């Protein structure tokens, strides 16, 4: 026991030990380490961020989510998206404590919604949009959500966003979803977009991007011939 006390004698040593406990999602051991005298490190925000990414809801509750700053809350969403085992459960449990009017972006100006779409985690995407419906209009790198998904070659995410807001396919800044799919040489994305955009043809014809879309049609037809 004396050796254990020495091991976590300083605040830095105790924090390092606690970080290991949190990454391993060992709440019992984390409580034991925290109880080994002063100083207290339980509410260090680095532990909370680790818990979002690697641990369970129970660990996050013990570390006290309510003490998180605005930036930590933004990072919370990103870290939770990366949590393969408990991410969805953590977001569902804590998202109600976030301000619905606040857009929680990280230092790269990216919302967790973009990370979830890029990762194909549509169950998390649904929770985020249910909490803040205005996120459907959120942009990243100048792209709306649909163009972002197409750019990331995430077909299922693109389909999901398209069903929510078909107008995003018409593009912006001179680029359409089809432009991006063509530039990525993504045949499946091109074929899907062309099928879906038949009903939106009138809208496309009202902009100067229609000529570009015609060129994409020729491109996909060429791919089709090559397949044969």
pLDDT tens column, 61-112: 999 887 777 778 888 899 999 999 999 999 999 999 888 767 777 767 789 9
pLDDT value of residue 86: 98
Higher-scoring residue by pLDDT: 199, 160: 160
Share of residues in the chain with pLDDT > 90 (%) = 53
pLDDT value of residue 69: 78
Burial (CB count within 10 angstroms: exposed 0-12, middle 13-18, buried 19+), residue 131: middle
Are the beta carbons of 179 and 171 closer than 8 angstroms? yes
The radius of gyration of the chain from alpha carbons, rounded to an integer in Å, stands at 23
- The answer for residues whose C-beta is within 8 angstroms of residue 27's C-beta and 6 or more apart is 21, 55, 56, 58, 59, 62
pTM of this structure: 0.81
Are the beta carbons of 113 and 74 closer than 8 angstroms? no
140-152: burial string, b at 16+ Cβ within 10 Å, e else:
beebbbbbbbbbb
């Amino acid at each position: 026991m004396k050796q254990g006390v020495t091991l976590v004698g300083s605040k830095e040593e105790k924090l390092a030990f606690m970080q290991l406990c949190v990454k391993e999602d060992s709440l019992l051991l984390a409580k034991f380490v925290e109880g080994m005298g002063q100083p207290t490190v339980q509410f260090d925000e680095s532990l909370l961020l680790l818990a979002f990414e690697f641990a369970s809801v129970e660990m996050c509750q013990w570390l006290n989510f309510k003490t998180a700053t605005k930036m930590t809350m933004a990072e919370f969403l990103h870290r939770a998206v990366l949590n393969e085992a408990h991410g969805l459960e953590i977001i569902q449990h804590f998202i109600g404590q976030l301000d619905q009017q606040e857009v929680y972006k990280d230092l790269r100006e990216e919302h967790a919604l973009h990370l979830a779409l890029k990762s194909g985690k549509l169950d998390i995407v649904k929770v985020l949009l249910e909490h803040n419906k205005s996120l459907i209009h959120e942009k990243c790198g100048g792209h709306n959500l649909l163009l972002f998904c197409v750019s990331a070659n995430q077909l299922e995410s693109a389909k999901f966003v398209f069903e929510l807001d078909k107008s995003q396919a018409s593009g912006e800044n001179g680029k359409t979803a089809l432009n991006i799919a063509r530039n990525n040489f993504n045949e499946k994305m091109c074929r899907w977009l062309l099928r879906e955009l038949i009903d939106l043809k009138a809208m496309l014809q009202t902009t100067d991007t229609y000529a570009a879309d015609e060129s994409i049609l020729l491109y996909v037809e060429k791919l089709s011939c090559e397949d044969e």
